[in-house]
A and B are shown apart, each in its own frame.
Chain A
């Protein structure tokens, strides 16, 4: 009898708090899986409010559809949905304010400036729905994880990305015996030929997002890299980068005018719509704008595949759009469920955006894709998912790369070269800026 002692079991270490945590997570996980299987919202979200912060889409009709779509989902599931639209450039400041206040929207959209890696400790882990959606729709395209994966976990759901293809004037090319701009060299020849005829080409060298995207497409297609696959080391000081810079200088001198130094993200749209441009490298909003503002030019504007570099490599650097959710949100379950519903209706979103939104999920990227698969001039866009990359390629989209992009370091290297500074000197300056930024993060 004296041997009788309290037996320590595994149960003894489970206190009330731990029990609630484990069972709570289990219930939430189970209801999410059930929800994904049955497409039915769990009852817990009824009577809650979901606040969504998103950008003002370049295709206004998409915003109209999105607001209606969100409201209908809310009505169906007993959730009051509020959608706020702000210009995408204001989103980082709004996120900083909400984070500081510890309150705000349940879902926040990031456009091009993806802040998942910066805020990941305060963001909802979305690995569960990311994996489920991936399984359901044939997997995500390779670039999808880059902006949202931290230490093996996923902190956002990629919604779509914005491509910047080559938009070229077929009538002008044919009239001058030029081949379509399938390579950067052919694009340069065309720019040189057409500039002499009063139709220069245009790619922004200024402080704007297009410049950040376009010149990365050029350098990556030339075989240069921004960081190594770990994302920790700067790789721009390379032979390929020097070739890309020399090429850019030649293309500017021969085929562009100084106005490219002053452009914002919409200037090239106007340049194309005015009928002056021989070609531009821009989002299809330029193509769509021209459709309404200058039908004659639109008729002759064609979309090309991403031009190949000297080694035949094609890399299209695009602007990713992802939804993130705050950990302090009181309605995480509704937020996740709404995202699942939104991705389930991805194709409808593509239709409403008139082909502007490109899908991250392989099944949705299968040919024929909505809108662009039916338009002979746009069909080539269906080949882009294989070659899409984001900032930092081939490394991930890290906070240090985000700072490099915010300070327009890469376009400034190209600008220096175009304005006459030697390639070596410009690159030396750029490498110095990159390393200074990277070293601050290493020290931190």
Chain B
């Protein structure tokens, strides 16, 4: 009787030990190491995000590629392959080149102003003052307001007759009254109109730049800044040699977001000027919308919209490569 339990105990111990060995041997070789399993788990965690990007970015992008090489229009369910015909048609348009030039000007000028204003605002928000939390909340309002509402408000402020900006300038004695030569027609004079559109874009987006920078600034350890201060670094030296290198990845990501948002921003120009006067504010997204949706030529609209890719891709590539080299 004693043998039984003893024998059972040995058997059960063998059984208890055996299955893991059997399971392990049946698993593929790559799964046996902890590193592989951790990697697989990591990919599993990433999968929802990758799927999201593939569905909401990848598929529309591939679809727009398909549209761009077809004669698709809104009323024709069946499209035929036309090669690069739509791109050729876009290049033949003078308006396309104006839109391309304006898009680049829009992007560069807006980026400069957003950097300056965003950095200044971020430094201001770093300071300690009463009501800081309230102010931090208020500065993001332009970014959070529905764009149609904010742009329509700006449209009133730029009105040729009832502009509150002009009224203020006139009261300050800087310009003449309504009807005088010095009274600016914000949306009617070509260069002013483009600047006015850029101004609204900057006003909407620079709080975003400020918030991104603020997040970066607050992540810099105060000990490092104190050490630099003790070493005699001035404010600009600390900013240039200590803060900027430390927050560089955040700066790049913020810049990437901003570039994409600015280049693809249709609403500001469409609502303010529809690309006028005389195409002075025409930009690629508006032109693509007017041709692709309003006029119904989906193929040509997609081709024009895809022209943004060659503009964006080199910039994205350089920035991401730079980021990788730094090996953060």
Contact = CB atoms under 8 A, between A and B. Distances in A.
Interface string A403-444: 100111001100110010000000001001100100010011
A276 to B, nearest CB: 7
A264 B186 CA distance: 13
A178 interface: no
Interface residues of A, number: 48
B77 A207 contact: no
Contact of B293 (A96, A261, A416): A96
Contacts of B160: 259, 262-263, 267
A271 interface: yes
B265 interface: no
B275 A436 contact: no
Contacts of B278: 205, 261, 412, 415-416, 419
Interface string A319-350: 00000000000000000000000000000000
A204 to B, nearest CB: 9
A118 B73 contact: yes
B189 to A, nearest CB: 7
B297 A432 contact: no
Contacts of B193: 262
Contact of A399 (B71, B187, B296, B298): B296
Contacts of B287: 407
Contact of B74 (A118, A419, A429): A118
Contacts of A261: 185, 187-189, 276-278
Contacts of B161: 259, 267, 270-271, 274, 276
A198 interface: yes
A267 B295 CA distance: 25
A61 interface: no
**Majority SS at the chain A contact face:** helix
* Chain B interface extent, by class: 35 or more
B290 A258 contact: no
A407 B290 contact: yes
A113 B293 CA distance: 11
B199 to A, nearest CB: 15
B327 interface: no
B188 A259 contact: yes
Contacts of A412: 276, 278-279
Given A261-B276, A402-B296, 20 more contacts: A92-B293, A96-B74, A96-B293, A96-B296, A99-B75, A115-B75, A205-B277, A206-B276, A207-B277, A262-B189, A263-B160, A267-B160, A270-B161, A406-B294, A407-B287, A407-B290, A408-B274, A412-B279, A436-B93, A440-B297
B300 interface: yes
Given A259-B185, A262-B188, A433-B95, A406 B179 contact: no
A399 B277 contact: no
Interface of B is mostly: loop
A258 B293 CA distance: 31
A408 B276 contact: yes
A177 to B, nearest CB: 23
Contact of B273 (A207, A399, A429): A207
Interface string A262-278: 11100100110010100
A75 to B, nearest CB: 35
Nearest to B158: A262
A76 B287 CA distance: 46
B66 to A, nearest CB: 13
Interface stretch (A119-127, A234-242, A247-255, A368-376): A119-127
Given A406-B291, A412-B279, A208 B274 contact: yes
23 contacts: A92-B296, A93-B293, A93-B294, A95-B74, A96-B298, A115-B75, A119-B74, A121-B76, A206-B277, A207-B275, A258-B189, A259-B161, A261-B187, A262-B189, A262-B277, A399-B295, A403-B291, A403-B296, A406-B295, A408-B274, A415-B278, A443-B85, A444-B71
Nearest to A400: B295
Nearest to A404: B295
Contacts of A96: 74, 293, 296, 298
Nearest to A413: B278
A264 B293 CA distance: 21
B89 interface: yes
Contact of A258 (B75, B188, B274, B276): B188
B323 to A, nearest CB: 37
B146 to A, nearest CB: 14
Interface string A47-84: 00000000000000000000000000000000000000
A435 to B, nearest CB: 10
A403 B93 contact: no
Max chain A CB contacts within 10 Å: which of B94, B187, B277, B287? Answer: B277
Interface in B219-264: none
| Most chain A CB neighbours (cut-off 10 Å) among B161, B278, B287 | B278
Interface string B52-87: 000000000000000000010111110000000100
